[in-house]
């Protein structure tokens, strides 16, 4: 993919839509597996998140959120979204299906998703409404201010019994963020930043208590984002995977590797893995 396409306000979203229409999606298989596991006593949660693209300063950016000190994963950068609320999100999905109030970037309703069987299409709509409901609560993004671009493969978390179902959307117009207490701020990261080798590092994840839990004490690829105040934010883990997977699907190319020689540290709180503050 020619990186100049990232600056094309009208052409790039349509290009993304076409690429994601062809992507292999595992929602039906993953959801069925979780339902069967939970019917036998499991407690595996499902969560919809939305990867937001926004055209700003003559190029496309990702709109991601930084979690505040009020949550267990304080300081983490993530996509807006959260846990599926079965009855609420099913009702919103029904409203979406009947009214067609959200469209794709080429003005199709979400009743018409090419290359998707009806069960997969229904799960895409369900997790989209889940993610947009959470986005309204977290940052004040109106669901009427987005165009749907496509679904991405699910991602199962290492730290929690949770699977993420990511959906990509275009933010149509700038809006005033209305942050709830769980969100410290919104970051806008240019897509072009992910194609620069100097943006990457290896993050050494460790516990502040020196825990021997194997979920701690890891070395993982990450993106280092200067915050403009002499400090760095670290994009790692599930969100790093979702964003880089999106870019690789869309661009058809491999992103720069994280140099082993550049290392940053990420110390996790004692309650990080519990999910409770």
Instruction: For residue 58, give the CATH number of its domain.
Output: 3.90.79.10
Q: Convert the pLDDT of each residue in 140-155 to its tens digit.
A: 999 999 999 999 999 9
Is residue 253 in some structural domain?
A: no
* pLDDT of 277 strictly over 90: no
* pLDDT of 276 strictly over 70: no
Is residue 222 in some structural domain?
A: no
Residue 198, pLDDT score: 95
Is residue 226 in some structural domain?
A: no
What's the mean pLDDT when you consider all of the chain? 92
Give the mean pLDDT of 156-171. Answer: 91
Residue 272 C-alpha from the chain's centroid: 19
Q: Convert the pLDDT of each residue in 111-122 to its tens digit.
A: 889 899 999 999
Is residue 259 in some structural domain?
A: no
Cβ-count burial 36-58 (b if 16+ within 10 Å, e if not)? eeeeeeeebbbbbbbbbbbbeee
Q: Could you give the CA distance from residue 272 to residue 209 in angstroms, rounded to a whole number? A: 11
Cross-strand pairs, 66: 77, 185
pLDDT band at 228 (very low <50, low <70, confident <90, very high): confident
DSSP per-residue codes, 215-253: TSSEEEEEEEEE-SSS-EEEE-HHHHHHHHHHHHHHH-S
Is residue 77 in some structural domain?
A: yes
Is residue 27 in some structural domain?
A: yes
Residue 214, pLDDT score: 58
Closest CA to 44 of 88, 84, 93, 87: 84
Cross-strand pairs, 27: none
Residue 264, pLDDT score: 93
Residue 267, pLDDT score: 85
* pLDDT of 16 strictly over 80: yes
Higher local confidence (pLDDT), 137 or 269: 137
| Tally of domains in the chain | 1
Residue 209, pLDDT score: 60
Is residue 115 in some structural domain?
A: yes
Higher local confidence (pLDDT), 1 or 84: 84
pLDDT band at 45 (very low <50, low <70, confident <90, very high): very high
State the residue range of the domain holding 151. Answer: 3-192
- Reported in sequence order, the residue ranges of the chain that DSSP labels E, i.e. its strands, are 45-56, 59-67, 77-78, 81-83, 146-151, 155-156, 162-171, 183-190, 200-207, 218-226, 232-235, 263-268
Give the mean pLDDT of 234-240. Answer: 96
Percent of the chain with pLDDT over 90: 78
Q: Convert the pLDDT of each residue in 171-213 to its tens digit.
A: 999 999 999 999 999 999 999 999 999 999 999 988 766 555 5
CB 95 within 8 A of CB 3: no
CB 213 within 8 A of CB 229: no
Residue 208, pLDDT score: 64
* pLDDT of 79 strictly over 80: yes
């Amino acid at each position: 993919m020619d990186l100049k396409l990232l600056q094309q306000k009208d052409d790039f979203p349509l290009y993304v839509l076409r690429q994601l229409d062809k992507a292999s999606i595992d929602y039906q298989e993953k959801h069925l597996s979780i339902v069967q596991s939970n019917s036998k006593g499991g407690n595996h949660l499902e969560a919809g998140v939305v990867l937001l693209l926004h055209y700003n300063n003559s190029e496309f950016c990702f709109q991601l959120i930084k979690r505040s000190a009020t949550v267990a994963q304080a300081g983490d950068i993530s996509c807006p979204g959260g846990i599926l609320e079965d009855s609420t999100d099913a009702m919103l999905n029904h409203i979406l299906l009947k009214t067609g109030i959200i469209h794709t970037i080429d003005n199709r309703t979400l009743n018409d998703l090419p290359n998707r069987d009806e069960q997969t299409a229904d799960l895409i709509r369900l997790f989209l409404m889940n993610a947009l409901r959470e986005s309204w609560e977290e940052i004040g993004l109106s669901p009427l201010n987005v165009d749907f671009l496509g679904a991405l493969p699910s991602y199962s978390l290492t730290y929690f019994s949770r699977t993420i179902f990511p959906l990509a959307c275009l933010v149509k117009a700038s809006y005033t963020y209305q942050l709830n207490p769980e969100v410290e701020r919104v970051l806008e990261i240019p897509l072009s930043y992910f194609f620069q080798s100097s943006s990457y590092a290896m993050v050494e994840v460790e516990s502040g208590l020196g825990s021997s839990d194997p979920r701690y004490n890891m070395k993982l690829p990450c993106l280092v984002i200067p915050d403009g105040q002499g400090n760095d934010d670290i994009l790692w883990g599930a969100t790093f995977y979702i964003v880089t997977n999106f870019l690789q699907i869309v661009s058809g190319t491999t992103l720069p590797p994280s140099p082993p020689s550049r290392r940053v540290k990420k110390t996790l709180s004692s309650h990080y893995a519990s999910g409770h503050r």
